[in-house]
Amino acid sequence: MEIGSRDTGGSDALLGEVFAGCYRVRRKLGRGGMGEVYLAEKTTAEGRLVALKLLHRELLADLKMMARFQREARAAARIVHDNVTALIDFGHSELGVPYLAMEYVEGETLSQVIEREGGPLPERRALRVLAQIAAGLAAAHDVGVVHRDLKPSNVMLCAGGDDVVKILDFGLAKILPEASMMLSTVGSVLGTPGYMSPEQLVGDALDARSDLYSFGLLALYLLTARAPYEGASLERVARQLETAPASLQWLPEGTDAVLRGLVEDCLQRSPADRPNDAHAVVSRLRALGAA
């Protein structure tokens, strides 16, 4: 679900209402597999705007799932970094609807930027964006949170033209893993197959290095405007990974050799062969001149 992108408009019974006692709903921002997203304003004196995510109640249908929602949301709320959208509040409404109140960000997702540009980002610009993504990942990994669904539509460039990055939806695929499994059977997965690591595709235990594989695919996308497995099912991506994995041959001629090497390292099939952590990725990008 994209925060702060296009307004979908349309009528909705919640518009103008106060949700959970403190969020006045202003308009709908979008809809995703987990529920709907609204722009809302806190009714407190600060009047802060938030992206209010209302989750389907059936996704938290038992006490075990509810406890995990609380635990993982608390973990995600510990991430404090300029390149990560903040989780401000979470809980349940008077009617039992689970919600997450996220920092509201105006701008475009990377998928929207590439579509508008009609091609890949210039290398220097891509480096600036990638360095910020890696820094946000490092901050989250430092507090034990793995994204699990890093992809172009979950990274925004803030409005204003300075290419300030915000990573969206940290930890949501972990908050609702059973929901992810359920939704994958109808073709709407929370962990997107085209950006999953090999270990995620087969259901193995994940650590921060899984995000680094997704980061490598994201880097390839920014530099080539090509998504190797976009729209593919879990089974199809797994087959393609065996027969035709994402290729560095797609990178433009003249791509910096060090950058090419970093992308190649992130895309190693074995987590042990990838960079040790996101901090190492940040260091390598800064050595290339990324701000």
For residues 9-23, one letter each, b for 16 or more C-beta atoms within 10 angstroms of the residue's C-beta and e for the rest, the string is eeeeebeeeebbeeb
Q: Within a 13 Å sphere around the CA of 208, how many CA atoms are in the beta-carbon half?
A: 19
Structure tokens at 218: 């994201």
The residue whose two tokens read 């403190």 is 22
Q: Name 39's bridge partners.
A: 27, 51
How far does Cα 232 stand from its chain's mean position?
A: 18
Residue 105: partners with Cβ closer than 8 Å, 6 or more residues away: 3, 4, 51, 85, 156, 158, 166, 168
Question: What gap in Å lies between CA 161 and CA 2, rounded to an integer?
Answer: 19
How would you class 129 by CB atoms within 10 Å of its CB: exposed for 0-12, middle for 13-18, buried for 19 or more?
buried
Question: What gap in Å lies between CA 137 and CA 141, rounded to an integer?
Answer: 6
Q: Catalytic site residue 204? A: no
Question: What gap in Å lies between CA 220 and CA 212, rounded to an integer?
Answer: 12
Q: Within a 13 Å sphere around the CA of 277, how many CA atoms are in the beta-carbon half?
A: 12
Helix ranges (DSSP H) in the chain: 63-77, 110-117, 123-142, 172-175, 177-184, 198-201, 208-224, 234-243, 257-266, 278-287
**Of these residues, 7, 12, 149, 256, which one is catalytic?**
149
Residue 234: partners with Cβ closer than 8 Å, 6 or more residues away: 184, 189, 193, 196, 201
The set of catalytic residues is: 149
